[in-house]
Amino acid sequence: MKNELNKLSDAEIVAMLKDKSTAEGAFAEFYSRYSQYVWAFCLKIIGNTDEASDVFQDSFTKFYNIASEGRITSNPKAYLLSIVRTTCFNYKRDHKKYVVIDDLNAIPDTFSTQNTYLDNEQSEIIKQAIDALPQDQKEVMVLRLYQGCSYSEIADIIGEPLSIVKNRLYRAREKVKADLARYLDD
Amino acid sequence: MKNKELIYEYLDGELDPMLEEKLFAEMSVDQELRDEFSHQLKINKFALEDMNTMQVPSETTAAVFANLGFTIPTSVSAKKASPLLLFLKSKRFMKASIAVAAFVLSIASGWWLNELSNSPQAEISTAQACIVNTENTTSNATPNLTTDKSNLFSDNLYRSTRKSRRLMPIASTGLANDAVSNESNTSDIVSNDEISNDIAQSEESSDNDRQAPQVLSYSALNAIGGDFSFAENETALFDYINLGNTSSDFETTLYTRGLRIAKELPVADDKSFFSGSSISIMYKLNDEHYIGGDFGEDEFYQEFYYQHGEQNVLYKQAPNYYWGAVSYKYLPEFLSIGDIAQPYAKLSLGGCKAGVIGKAQLGLNFQINQSLNAFIGGEYNSLFFNIRKDLYTSHKFELLYGISINL
C-alpha cells in the first residue's frame, strides 16, 4: 500500500482523502511529502516553535477537513500552503504579536550585520537575514527558496498577480544581499 | 529586464531559454554580474541548508494525527514519540521538575550545611540532645543539665553551650519543686559524670558576671500541644541576608531583615555570621506565580520540658538551624500600583533537623529599573518540634526589606 501511494500524484492522493477507508493512508503520504515545507513556512512566519506547532496542526486539520469534502480540485500543494499562510496570518493577527505590514519602510531592520557576521555560521546568517525581511517579502522568499514554489504557485498562494510576486522577490533578494554584502564578499 | 532579474529568474527556474544565452553572454564580460550570480547562488544554497535543519517535531506530528483520529505511520515519523516521552518533553513536566529539583536542592543543601557545620556531638537532634545531656558522658558541647543556679550561668559553662545550640535548662520542676533553691540536690538529680565535671569546671571560673536569666518555676505538666506563647515584644536588630538575582524565568533575591518580634533568650546573643541568611531560587510560572525553593540558616527560640526522674526540667535554647523549604510566591497584577509597586505574598514550607518550618511573607515590591527591585514586608516564622512525643512550637515575626537584582 505504501509503495503504491508513493507513485500517486498529489491530486490522486488528495482524492483518496474523501474515502474514509483510504483516508488515513493517503493523509500519511501527503503529510510525508509536505510536512517539512509546511513546518518551515510556519516557523519562518511565526518565529516561535510552540506557536508554529499550533498553527501547523490547525493547518493540516483544516486541509484534511476540506479535502475530505472533495473541495480541493487542483494543485493540492498550493492549496495547502495557502491554508497555512492564511492560518499563520490569522494567528498573528489574533495574538497581535507582530506588526501588520502596511508600510514596508516602517519595518525596522532588525538584522544587524555588524554583530552577526563574525560569530555565526553561514546558514545562521542567511536565516537571520530572511527572518529580518518585511513580512510580505519574507513569505515569497520562503515560498520560493524553502518551498520551491514557482512564481505562479506563489501568486496563487498569496492571491496576488505574478508581477507583484516578482517585484517582492526582487526586493527581498536585494535586501538580503545588502544585509549579507560583507559576508558574501569574503 | 535588468540583468539582475535575469539571474534571479534563472536561479528560480523561471527564465526563458532564449534569455539564458543573453544572461551568460553578459556575465562573460561583466565581473559585477558574475559576483551577483555567485552571491545569489550562495543565498539559495544557504536557504536550502536552513530548510534541511527544520524537522517537524515528533510531538507535533503525533498531535496532528491524534487530532484526526489517525495512528502515526512509521513512514511519517521514524521517531514516533511515546506518550511518556511526550509527557517528559511537556512544559508542565519541565516546570514540575524544576520545582521538585529546587525543593530537593533546598533540603539537601540544608542537610549538607548542617553536616558541615556541626560537631559530631551537635549533630544530634534537639530531642536527642536532651537524652545525651542526661546519659551521654562524652560531650563537651551539650553539658548543660543542672539545677544549680550559680553554676549554670557561669560564663565558662555558657560558652561551651552556645557553641552549638545554647541549650539552657532554666529550672527543674516537680511535685516537690524544691530543686531550684536546694543546691545539695544537684548531684542527686544529675548523676551524669560529665555534667558534674562541667559543673565543677564552671565553679572554677570566677567570671560570673553574666546576668542570670529569669528562673522560672513551672508545675509539672506534659506540655502536649506545645508552647504557643508568642511575642514577648522583645525586639532586636537582626541582620538577614538573602543573595540572589532575577532572570526571565528564575528569580533569586537579596533580602535584609530588620526588627524581630520573638521570644528570646534573656542573655547576650552571639549569632553565627550567617544566621538569618538564606537563598531563594524561584521559577517563574507566569507573571503572577512563582515556585521554587529556599534554604538558609535561622535562629529559633525553643522552650520545652524534659523529665529527669521525678523532675520535670524546663529548657530554653536558641539554636541556629539550617533549613530548606519549598516556596510559592504570588504577585497579584490586579493589585499593582502602576508600574512602580506591586504587593506580593510568599509561602514556604520545609524543615530543619528540629522539625517542620513554615514561613509566610507579605510585602511590597518596588521596581527601580528593569534590573533592580526594592521591597519591604514582614515574615511570620513557625517551627514545630517534637520532644519525646510532645509537640512544641516557636514563632517569630521579622521585618523584611531588601533588593532583588535582575541578571
Indicate if the pLDDT at residue B109 is higher than 50. Answer: yes
Nearest CA in chain A to B36: A177
Indicate if the pLDDT at residue B183 is higher than 60. Answer: no
What pLDDT score was predicted for residue A186?
A: 56
Cell numbers of B223, please?
Answer: 506540655
Q: Higher pLDDT residue, B284 or A79?
A: A79
For A5-35, how does the pLDDT look when each residue is reduced to its tens digit (9 = 90+)?
Answer: 778 888 888 888 888 888 888 888 889 888 8
Nearest Cα of chain B lies from the Cα of A1 at a distance, in angstroms, of 12
What pLDDT score was predicted for residue A76?
A: 87
pLDDT band at residue B38 using 50, 70 and 90 as cut-offs: confident
What pLDDT score was predicted for residue B152?
A: 35
Q: What is the ipTM of this complex?
A: 0.77
DSSP B368: E
Nearest CA in chain A to B8: A170
pLDDT band at residue B372 using 50, 70 and 90 as cut-offs: confident
Indicate if the pLDDT at residue B211 is higher than 50. Answer: no
What pLDDT score was predicted for residue B4?
A: 79
Q: Could you say which of B53, B67, B75 has the minimum Cβ distance to residue A57?
A: B67
Cell numbers of B401, please?
Answer: 526589606
- CB-based contacts of B106: which residues, under 8 Å, 6+ apart? B281, B293, B294, B295, B324, B325, B326, B350
Q: Do B47 and A145 touch (CB under 8 A)?
A: yes
Indicate if the pLDDT at residue B194 is higher than 70. Answer: no
For chain B, what percent of residues have pLDDT higher than 90? Answer: 3
pLDDT band at residue B308 using 50, 70 and 90 as cut-offs: confident
Among the ranges given (A96-105, B206-215, B279-288, B337-346), the one the predictor scored with the smallest mean pLDDT: B206-215
Q: Does any CB of chain A come closer than 8 Å to the CB of residue B79?
A: no
Residue window 4-23, chain B: list those with CB within 8 Å of chain A.
Answer: 4-5, 8-9, 12-14
How many Cα atoms within 13 Å fall on the side-chain side of residue A45?
Answer: 33
Tell me the pTM: 0.41
Q: Does any CB of chain A come closer than 8 Å to the CB of residue B31?
A: no
For A125-135, how does the pLDDT look when each residue is reduced to its tens digit (9 = 90+)?
Answer: 777 788 888 88
Helix A20-46 / helix A49-68 crossing angle, nearest 10 deg: 150
Nearest Cα of chain B lies from the Cα of A41 at a distance, in angstroms, of 10
The CA dihedral of B229, B231, B236, B239, to the nearest 10 degrees, is 80
Q: What is the mean pLDDT of residues B116-125?
A: 42
pLDDT band at residue A121 using 50, 70 and 90 as cut-offs: low
pLDDT mean across residues, chain A? 78
Instruction: Answer yes or no: are the C-beta atoms of A147 and B10 closer than 8 Å.
Output: no
Among the ranges given (B164-178, B181-195, B196-210, B227-241), the one the predictor scored with the smallest mean pLDDT: B227-241
Give the gyration radius of chain A's Cα atoms.
Answer: 18
| Cα–Cα dist B337/B364, whole Å | 10
B41: left (phi over 0), alpha (psi -120 to 50) or beta: alpha
| Cα–Cα dist B325/B294, whole Å | 5
Indicate if the pLDDT at residue B159 is higher than 70. Answer: no
